[in-house]
Amino acid sequence: MAKIEVGKGRSKIEQTNHGLRITIPSKKNFFLIAFMGFWLMGWAFGEVSVLKELLNPKDGAPQFFLIAWLGGWTVGGAFAIYAWLWNVMGKEIVDITSSELSHIKIVAGFSRSSEYAVSSISKLRLQPQNTSMFGSRNGMEFWGITGGTIAFDYGQSTHKFGAQLDEAEASHVIEAIKNRFTNL
């Protein structure tokens, strides 16, 4: 009889001198990584071809259309590159001290962070994700770029982290946070 291996999870929880550090690597979607990799090759071909056409115009070529198309194509490509990089090497780092929760997203050496006063955080909880590309309020959650399975209220708004964490792992992370910081 085959046995299923016990899940180990992706997150790493470390006790620091000041609090907790939770590191969550992006969930690797190998289909998306392969598909977007091939799509980006086609995207690059289209980008270069249109740029060549714009730099060496032929008589009667619809330049306005090519410029508009190139703008949309470039924005779409930038999103695809970001989604591909996030899936390949992205990670979230959550640092929690007695006074601050810092949420940092790192992709290819670039980062953006948000800091929250712990005194204003309430209702730290599990928030199962909607896995549909079309069914959630924020379609970027499907790509693993935004959102998360762990949510908290901060004043009159809700914030999330732990993109695409399984519910069991998210519960484990929440338990570790609440054990260290009983006010959360």
Beta-carbon contacts of 178 under 8 Å, excluding residues fewer than 6 positions away, are: 124, 184
Work out the pLDDT band at 135, boundaries 50, 70, 90: low
Q: What is the pLDDT of residues 140-150, one digit of tens each?
A: 666 666 778 99
pLDDT of 131: 57
Asked which of 65, 87, 109 is the last residue of a domain, the reply is 87
Is residue 174 domain-shared with residue 118, that is, in the same domain? yes
Considering the domain architecture, whether residues 98 and 165 belong to the same structural domain is answered as: yes
Per-residue confidence (pLDDT) for residue 60, from 0 to 100: 65
Asked whether residue 64 falls in the same domain as residue 81, the answer is yes
Full domain range(s) for residue 139: 12-26+91-180
55 and 138 share one domain: no
* pTM beyond cutoff 0.85: no
The predicted pLDDT at position 171 comes to: 93
**Is residue 101 in some structural domain?**
yes
Query: Mean pLDDT in the chain?
Result: 87
Q: Is 2 part of any domain?
A: no
Do 16 and 36 lie in one domain? The reply is: no
Please, which residues bridge with residue 23 across strands? 12, 93
**172 found inside a domain:** yes
DSSP 128: P
How far is the C-alpha of 9 from the C-alpha of 55, rounded, in Å? 51
What pLDDT is attached to residue 8?
83
Measured distance CA(155)–CA(94) in Å, rounded: 19
| Whether the predicted pLDDT of 2 surpasses 80 | no
The 3 state secondary structure assigned to 35-79 is: HHHHHHHHHHHHHHHHHHHHHCCCCCCCHHHHHHHHHHHHHHHHH
Distance of CA 85 to the CA centre of its chain: 10
Name the H helices within the chain.
30-55, 63-89, 167-180
161 and 103 inside one domain? yes
pLDDT value for 164: 85
Number of domains in the chain: 2
Which amino acid makes up residue 36?
Answer: M
74 and 151 in a common domain: no
Please give the order of strands across the beta sheet that includes 110-117.
12-15, 19-25, 91-97, 100-107, 110-117
For the segment 27-65, what is each residue's pLDDT rounded down to a tens digit?
A: 888 998 999 999 999 999 999 998 988 888 776 667 888
Residue 43 domain flag:
yes
Q: Residue 98 carries which DSSP code?
A: S
Among 72, 87, 102, give the residue marking a domain's end.
Answer: 87
pLDDT at 175 over 90: yes
pLDDT value at position 64? Answer: 84
Q: For residue 5, is it within any domain?
A: no
Question: Token pair 């090519």 is at which residue?
Answer: 66
Could you give the CA distance from residue 141 to residue 162 in angstroms, rounded to a whole number? 11
> pLDDT digits over 62-118, tens only?
788 888 999 999 999 999 999 999 999 999 999 999 999 999 999 998 999 999 999
Mean pLDDT of 156-168: 91
DSSP state of 18: S
